[in-house]
Amino acid sequence: MAWALVWLIVGIALMIAEVVSGDFVLIMLGVAALFGAGAEVLTGNLLIDVAVFAVASVGMLLLVRPTLKRRLLSGPAHHTGIDALIGARAVVVSTVDAEAGRVKLGGDVWSARSMGDHLPPIQPGTSVTVVEISGATAVVSAEP
């Protein structure tokens, strides 16, 4: 029964260490160690515990880990920083033309300019879409 406690402590320690690594290796070994603890409780034979741990480790690393990583990485891309502002809606605060203007974007007031030189100025209160961020200036387009 003492080995069951050792397996349990090792399993939990590996799972906690996974928080630092984030690569799904230590969590797989931690779960395999818990299988080893279960084998110890059921059989009381250290050789069987080690064999269960080895088989569970290899199985988890070769079968479960790739599937888990694929599933977690297949989701939609999450944009942050400036990339998250592209496509966002803003409201014109002061007239926006091809050279200057100001918009309220995400609770902040940004300097802005419109997409093209030939477009008429966009009046305050108009809703616009951010097309790109150029330096600290939002390049916007009037919504249809």
pLDDT at 31 over 80: yes
72 CB neighbour count, 10 Å cutoff? 9
Structure letter (DSSP) for residue 99: S
pLDDT tens digits along 118-139: 778 999 999 999 999 988 899 9
pLDDT tens digits along 89-99: 999 999 999 89
State the residue range of the domain holding 94. 82-142
Residues 69 and 86 in one domain: no
pTM above 0.75, yes or no: no
Residues 27 and 58 in one domain: yes
Pairing of strands 108-114, 102-105: antiparallel
Place of tokens 């569970």: 56
Provide the number of structural domains found in the chain.
2
Q: What is the pLDDT of residue 32?
A: 95
Residues 68 and 127 in one domain: no
Residues 30 and 93 in one domain: no
